[in-house]
Chain A
Amino acid sequence: MSLVRIVVLSVVGAALGLWGLESYLHYQRGLKMAEMNKYWANGPQLLSLENPPSPDSFQPMQVISEFPAIEEFEILTAENSAGKAEVVDDDLVLGVVLGDEIRAYPINMMTGPDREIFNDTLGGQPIAATW
């Protein structure tokens, strides 16, 4: 009986905990949104012909923390990619021909906030692939 009670309490406790965490995150998001709205309301002058993009008009905003540079990742030949779940025929890619090397960068793989840029070397040239 007491075991059942402990299990029930634990479940309720966990649910409350999760709810609390969820509310906290929601609250944090709210703060961030309020900050962003304030920023956009008073803040940056929108770019235009009169205010063209330049270091003077540069007003970046930190929305999420920095992510480490991505310098190592798996590369397959077209032949070896057949049947793999990662790359399918309909995937949009950025295709690059550089020197004697040819590589496709699937766009879906560069769309996470933690993964926007691939630092790569192609045809002996250092390049960053990004979308």
Chain B
Amino acid sequence: MLWEHSLVMIDKETGSLWSHLLGEAMRGPLEGEVLETIPSVMTDWKSWKEKYPQSTVVAMTRKSLEYTKLQFLTPTDEHGRALLIGLANRETSRAWILDELKNNPVLNDDFAESPLVIVYDSQNDTTVLHGRKIDDQVLTFRLEKDELIDDQTNSRWDLLTGEAVSGKLKGKTLQKLPGIISYDFAWKNFHPESTYWKPAK
């Protein structure tokens, strides 16, 4: 089933119909319930296993020869569809266009009164959202020679895992946030109230 060109999921226990992008039951016994979004990172398998050598991987037959790193090197395609990373709760939502992050690879921003940092890693075209609060201290990040550094303690952080690799905060890990990679038109449809980060002119 499709709704607004987007998948409708069905649970076999109650037969409720769920919006794929919203994670919300739109019809059936569970109508109105919202699934929790689990933080995930979209990256290539090589980059992921380098950072997480203990990772496991699903290995079923391939369904497509696409969905490789190459395909996402141009986040805005020939049809003008732009990829973005978005965050949403039931009240509000905010999104960042991936193309615009290339020139702004580290953004200190806020969502629903929570400080966060959006990190775009040009080495593997990976965008990650991290919370930027450690033990009640809000950190402000900058990129220096491809390294993520916070202004408050000058600790150095891994871009993908959000773990401090050296400095005063070594061993601490930033909270991963449940960002969703989506096309801009789909996001706009399902989150008409969304705000968007825009680069300063």
Contact = CB atoms under 8 A, between A and B. Distances in A.
A7 interface: no
B1 to A, nearest CB: 5
B48 A108 contact: no
Contact of A108 (B46, B53, B65): B65
B133 interface: no
Contact of A55 (B8, B32, B59, B193): B32
B134 to A, nearest CB: 17
A50 B67 CA distance: 35
Nearest to A122: B38
Contacts of A129: 40, 58
B76 interface: no
A78 B69 contact: no
Which bracket fits the contact residues of A?
35 or more
Given A49-B193, A52-B193, A109-B60, A90 B69 contact: yes
A23 B119 CA distance: 52
B169 interface: no
Contact of B57 (A81, A92, A101): A81
A79 B19 CA distance: 36
B40 A90 contact: no
Interface in A50-82: 52-55, 58-63, 66, 69, 73-79, 81
B56 A74 contact: no
A104 B58 contact: yes
A91 interface: yes
Interface stretch (B9-17, B106-114, B135-143, B146-154): B9-17
B59 A87 contact: yes
Nearest to A92: B67
Contacts of B17: 58, 60
B103 interface: no
Contacts of A54: 26
Contacts of A93: 42-45, 48, 57
A78 B64 CA distance: 21
Interface in B157-201: 176, 189-190, 192-193
A97 interface: yes
A127 B7 CA distance: 17
30 contacts: A44-B4, A46-B4, A47-B192, A53-B189, A54-B26, A58-B3, A58-B26, A58-B27, A60-B26, A63-B1, A66-B10, A73-B60, A81-B57, A85-B62, A87-B59, A92-B43, A93-B42, A94-B41, A94-B42, A95-B43, A95-B52, A96-B38, A98-B38, A102-B54, A103-B57, A104-B49, A109-B58, A110-B63, A120-B58, A129-B40
Closest 8 CB pairs of A and B: A89-B46, A58-B26, A108-B67, A112-B63, A78-B49, A102-B55, A107-B67, A60-B3
